[in-house]
Amino acid sequence: MAYSTELADRVRERLSIVDNIEIEEKKMFSGLSFLVNGKMCINISHDNLMCRYDPEIEDEVSEKKGFLPMIMKGKQLNGYCYVEPIGFKKADDFEYWIKICLDYNPMAKASKK
């Protein structure tokens, strides 16, 4: 289970400044997931972010630098993507990805336990 600890620290630090959320870290998706209020929000996989966002903004998100579609069983999963480091190297770009994940989290469905 390989993931960038530096990127995990960066995500951890950013999430720590958000009020009124519960954060849990869990090893999932071959990396480290950050669950916000019991729901997968953002994941670190190797050097990439894996983001969960509102599928309604798929067109906007897919145009962003570093975007990679998330493919499972041969199909693209709308509302999920990987982001290569070039896509979040700049602080503003990193903030964009964190924000869309946090914005969607209240609407996201929790997985079955």
Average confidence (pLDDT) over 64-73: 95
Q: Does residue 101 form part of some domain?
A: yes
**Are the C-beta atoms of 33 and 62 separated by less than 8 Å?**
no
Please give the share of the chain, as a percent, with pLDDT higher than 70: 97
**Does 97 fall in a domain?**
yes
Q: CA 13, CA 49: separation in Å to the nearest integer? A: 15
Sign of the alpha-carbon dihedral angle for 37, 39, 42, 44:
positive
- Of the pLDDT bands very low, low, confident and very high (cuts 50, 70, 90), residue 20 is very high
CA distance 21 to 25: 13
Q: Evaluate whether residue 68 is within a structural domain.
A: yes
**Residue 98 belongs to some domain of the structure:** yes
* Per-residue pLDDT, 19: 94
Question: Which residues pair with residue 5 across a beta bridge?
Answer: none
Q: Mean of the per-residue pLDDT values for the chain? A: 94
Give a yes or no: residue 28 inside a domain: yes
- Residue 112 inside a domain? The answer is no
Q: How confident is the model at residue 29 (pLDDT cuts 50, 70, 90)?
A: confident
pLDDT digits (tens, 9 = 90+) for 80-98: 999 999 999 999 999 999 9
Q: 8 near 44, Cβ under 8 Å? A: yes
Cα(37)–Cα(22) distance, integer angstroms: 5
Q: Flag whether 113 is in a domain.
A: no
Number of structural domains, the chain?
A: 1
Whether residue 50 lies inside any domain: the answer is yes
Q: 35 near 26, Cβ under 8 Å? A: yes
Domain limits for position 91: 5-107
Is-above-0.95 flag for pTM? no
Spatial separation of the C-alpha atoms in residues 22 and 64, rounded to whole Å: 28
The CATH number of the domain where 13 resides is what?
Answer: 3.90.1150.30
